[in-house]
Structure formats: structure tokens, C-alpha cells
Structure 1
């Protein structure tokens, strides 16, 4: 618990300095080449900064996710950029989730509408998974709502990992230039179809497994 509070305090300090830095104003421009030039060539520095950016994106959603992924792909290439975006998004989501659940739960319950919290409480795993794949709710709200609900950490991590993997693949195609005509449009359509099919098959399997478990518990 104390370690978590110290970690959150350090992140809060980092975020404060980030908002008061030149980098924040460069990011607001949305120009990838300008951001790359500003960050320079130091790999450890860029990894640290892009990780902090992802934490901020998962905490407040003031930086568009497509911009973060585009920056990572521009810095590290398609595969490493995608992987780094995916891994940091999972870690950032866990940090926010744990921070809300063990640090700010009482305060946040007063700030959010009850129906938003009830949505996460009622659907749990599927709420997080659906919201990740079809992002009708900001990333930060998903993390906060999950932290306030009764969803287990294991379920939250699994749903986030699967949902972000599918969604990030689609988002990564945009900065990679695949939507600009460098790949056959039918290939994109087939890829999108199979990704969505995978999501709904997993969703169906999860619901069926839950019903089976509920029946066994009633016996």
C-alpha cells in the first residue's frame, strides 16, 4: 500500500512537470516530426517520456491515443512501436486502476455519475473488453470505473490486454501508412473482419462459461 502511494506521488510529480514543460506544448501541435526532433536520439529518454505520455493518456485522456501510437511507431518502427504502445497501455491502465481502487475510491465515487459506475459493476470483464475494442468511453473513464467496481485485477488485465491488442492493431495501420493505398483495401477489410469476429467469439465464449459456472454454483 505504501509503495503504491509513493509510486502515485512520483507519477503525479512527473505529470506536473510534464504539463509545465516545453514537450507538452510540442505534443499539443500534433506534428510527429516536430515531436521526434524535440525528443532527440536518446533511446532511454524517449522510452521514459513515451511511457509517461501513455500514463497521462490513461489517466486523463487529454492526449489522443492515435497520436501516442503514431509517435511510438515513428520512433521505434511499426512492430516495436506497436508492442511498446500495447505494453505501456496495459501497465498504465493497471497503475490507474490500482491508484483508484486503493487511493481515491471514496473521492471518485462522489465525482462520477452512479450509472457509469454501475455499468462497470454489472458487466465487469465484458464492460472493459467492449470499451477497449469499441472505445465509446474514454480510456481514463474505463480505468477509473473498473477501479471503482468489483472487477478483479486479473480480469481487468486480461480484458485490457485483449481489447487493446485488437484495437491497437487497427490504430497502428493508420500511422504505418496502410490506409493510404500501400496495401489492398480488401486485405484491410478481411483483417478488420477477423479481428471483430475474434472479439465476438471470445465474448460469446466468456458469457457461455459464466452461465455454466453460475449453474454449477447453484447445485
Structure 2
């Protein structure tokens, strides 16, 4: 635990917006590699400051490209964690994780609410998204539903961080400017639920056809 605490303290002390922005500017020769890698690492190391990486990407690469790199990186990280837990993790590791009361509680929530809960949690900044990735991997949630929830939820979350981070003065003076963010969350949630239902309906029809053929 001492080593982990030292590592966490290091990141909290030295991994700041200014240092990450300088790093990204200094290593532009790598192209988008670092802009994707750093947000992706947060899925494995939850104490990393994702908000710093997102804002630094926007500052170093511009709003649109910075947003895209952050979104791609954090989505890839989430997918990898989910797949590792679902298909690669040993039985002993899974049993060890499931003994945690916190994980058991979240596991029941996800299996009860599925896409909607994962989307909602991942669309809100400062939530334990890395834990959600692990629990989703342990649950019965399909990869398709998880991927959809991650892509839409992370899109909203990254958008919120970038929007607020670059326009915070105007938001403080005029709170109504945050209304489009709330509307965006509702719209993305509705679209995601519709897509999930459509995909599940098609999958069910295919399963019925297979059963009938047998």
C-alpha cells in the first residue's frame, strides 16, 4: 500500500494541467499517440486525473481534436478493462473481486438497470468509471450494450468537462448556459436506449429463427 500511496501522491503533486499540456506540446512529434494514451490509462489507474488530461488535450490539440482524442482514449481503456475482466481474468480473481460488498452492490445495480445505469454513471464527471468497467465485466451486461453506453456516456462526460473547462467564466455569470449540457445528456440517453432496444430486438429475432430452424 505504501508504494501505491507514493505513486498516487506523485501524480497529484506533479501531474498538473500545466505539466501535461507542456508534455503534449513537447511531444507533438508522436502525433495523437499521447493524447489517446493518457486518458486511456485512467481506466487502469483510477487515481490519474482524467479531467487534467481532457483539458490538456483541448489546449494542446484544439477543442475539436482534443475532444476526439480524449474520447477515443477513454473509450478504448474502458473496452480493454471490460474484456480483460470478462474473458481473460482468472476465476480466482473474479471470485476475489465479487467478495467485495461494494462490487456486489454495484453488480446487482448494473444487472438490474443495464445500459441506463452504465450510461448515466459514465456521463457524469468525477464518478468511479474505472470501477464501473470492472463491475460491468463481471456482470451479465452484453458487450454491445456496454460499448454503446461507454461511447455515448463518455461523449457526454468529455463534452461536459471540455465545455465547462473552457467556458467556466460565462457559466458562472450566466448559469443558463449549462442547460444545453443537460439537454444533451437526456437526448443521448434516449438515443442510446432506442438503439439498444433495436439491437436487442434484432438479436432476439435471429435467436428465434435459429431455434425454429433446429
TM-score by length of 1: 0.72
Matches within 5 A, 1:1-219: 25=10, 28-45=13-30, 47-104=32-89, 106=91, 107-111=93-97, 112-113=100-101, 114-134=104-124, 137-176=127-166, 178-181=167-170, 185=174, 188-202=177-191, 205=194
CA contact (8 A) 1:73 1:175 kept: no
Q: CA RMSD in A?
A: 3.4
What does the per-residue CA deviation read over 1:41-92, in whole Å, with 9 as the maximum and x for residues that have no partner?
Answer: 3325373334332232112311122112011112111111001111111111
Give the aligned partner of residue 12 of structure 1. none
| Unaligned segments of structure 1, at least 5 residues | 1-18
How far 1:28 moved relative to its partner?
3.8
- Deviates further, 149-158 or 104-113: 104-113
TM-score by length of 2: 0.73
Q: Following TM superposition, where does structure 1 have runs of at least 4 consecutive aligned residues deviating by more than 4 angstroms?
A: 24-27, 203-213
| Unaligned segments of structure 2, at least 5 residues | 1-5, 209-214
- Cα distance in structure 2, aligned partners of 1:26 and 1:210: 41
May I ask how many residue pairs the two structures share in their alignment? Answer: 194
- Cα distance in structure 2, aligned partners of 1:125 and 1:26: 32
